[in-house]
Amino acid sequence: MKAHYIYPLVLASVASVALVPTARADDLADWLKIDGFGTIGTYKGNSDVAGVRTDQRQNVVSKNDWRFDGDTQASIQATLNPTGKLKAVLQLISKKDIQSSNKPTVEWAYVSYPLTSEFDIKLGRTVAPIFVMSDYRNLNYAQTMARPQTEIYQVNPITYQDGATIRWDKKVGSGQLQLEGFFGKTKVSVSGGDVDLSRVKGLSLKWAQDDWSVRGGYSWYDASVIAPTVEANIKTLSALPAVACTNCASVIAAVAPRTGITATISTLGATYDNGLWIAQAEWAKRDTNSVVIPAVSGWNVMGGYRMGDFTPYAGFSNFKIESTKSTLAPGAFAPAALRAQLNYLNASYMGTGDPSRDAVSVGMRWDFAKNLALKAQYENIKMKNPTVGASSGFQSYPTSMLGQSNGFNGRLSMFTLNLDFVF
């Protein structure tokens, strides 16, 4: 469903709900509910060579300096007719984006209605229910850690889709079963370029009982990529004669399409919270037919323990590129510089880099007042292939494969101090 059809529907529904005769000015809470949340945060890397980000949908990095524009955000959500069947929800988020703008963006904009006591439908811009924390991915206050562990959430940067979501809730024994199906389209702008995602489709199954919750999902989509640096490399390579590169044109056509990319994402996660102990584990895998959006996998585990207002925690995570590397071959008359360039492009998945890594996180959450939480977090990261370089994602540093060493040993860290709030 196209966005220019969806938003008029949302606005019309908002207007119809707002004009219900029973919605009197002296009974505002019956038809309008306002919620807000946000974060005031700062973070710092420890390297003069490698920069770190808190969000791959930003272009700013910290190399060895304090930054205040990573997790920092302010958001507001309005729900019309919150106690009725027909609801309209609008959520705006102000956070630095890839254009270095803090202009508020529409994260959610949908109308929902229960078709039966067990089925409901949402039309508009809704959350893509892919990960354990998808429903509150931007609500840092609801998360134990400073942010979702990047090694798992880098698998899919999608936070919303424009279309429809149908949900089925069923009480089974002492547990609750939830099945969601969704379809639509969306666009994601990350540090490496813009990705248009059409025909996004997926299923999510969730089971919750007592202290446990388990969620699995599968989604698939078609994608097109606009990445200027990658496109420039590919255009130059495709024009090389066979004496310089024997197979550039054929290899690029086979392994590096920028349009008509197909991808699937499989996820599985579980959480445990008995009021004192907290645990979370999650795994995700993305398969594609292009190294421009490479096949990847990631996993994380996290555990914490509440001691009054304090919650110390620790997490371990891994991110790995799983695409098959290209096999660009230099020709008989290829100069040394071109041979080095082809070798680099093969190792870096056509210039997109290799951010494969392991990470360890430790931190402390302090709920020092109602609706306020202060979090301090330290992350130690080990890049698996530091000579290749990383040009996008959560780490950024140059390659050592083109004749000049980057001076990077693959180890870096990041310290975060965030104040999360809700109202």
pLDDT digits (tens, 9 = 90+) for 58-81: 888 999 999 999 999 999 999 999
Q: How many CB atoms lie within 10 A of CB 259?
A: 12
Domain membership of residue 345 (yes or no) is yes
Q: CATH no. for residue 66?
A: 2.40.160
Domain carrying residue 328:
40-72+121-422
Strand partners of residue 214:
207, 270
Rounded to 5°, the CA angle 222-225-227 comes to 170
DSSP state of 348: T
Q: What is the number of domains present in the chain?
A: 1
Say if 178 falls within a structural domain. Answer: yes
Sheet strands (E) in 6-155 = 32-45, 51-52, 66-67, 73-80, 87-95, 105-114, 119-127
Q: What does the angle CA 376 – CA 382 – CA 383 come to, to the nearest 5 degrees?
A: 125
Residue 135 maps to a domain:
yes
Q: What are phi and psi of 9, to 5 degrees?
A: -65, -45
- The pLDDT assigned to 116 comes to 95
pLDDT at position 233, please? 79
421 DSSP β-pair partners = 38, 372
Residues 6+ apart with CB under 8 A from 90: 10, 14, 77, 78, 106, 108, 109
Q: Residue 357 to residues 154, 305, 354, 385, 408: CA-CA distances in angstroms?
A: 12, 27, 9, 8, 14
5 domain-assigned: no
Task: Tell me what pLDDT residue 15 has.
Answer: 38
User: Is position 16 within any domain?
Assistant: no
Q: Do the domain assignments include residue 113? A: no
Token pair 């024997």 is at which residue?
246
Look up residue 348 and give its two tokens: 């870096």
Q: Are 164 and 1 in contact (CB under 8 A)?
A: yes
- DSSP letter string over 6-42? HHHHHHHHHHHHHT-TT--GGGGGGTEEEEEEEEEEE
Please tell me the pTM assigned to this model: 0.88
Q: What is the structure's pLDDT at 27? A: 59
Using CB atoms within 10 A of its CB, is residue 29 exposed (0-12), middle (13-18) or buried (19+)?
exposed
Residue 228 pLDDT: 81
Virtual torsion, Cα 80, 148, 209, 207, nearest 10 deg: 80
| CA distances for 187 relative to 125, 184, 228, angstroms | 12, 11, 17
Q: In angstroms, rounded to a whole number, what is the distance separating the alpha carbons of residues 43 and 64?
A: 10
pLDDT in tens, 149-181: 999 989 988 889 999 999 999 999 999 999 999
* Cα(189)–Cα(52) distance, integer angstroms: 17
Ranges of the chain whose pLDDT falls below 70 = 1-27
- In-domain check, residue 83: no
Predicted local distance difference test score (pLDDT) of residue 24:
46
Note whether residue 154 is domain-resident. yes
Q: What is the pLDDT of residue 2?
A: 42
Note whether 119 and 167 are within 8 A (CB): yes
CB-based contact 199:43 (threshold 8 Å): no
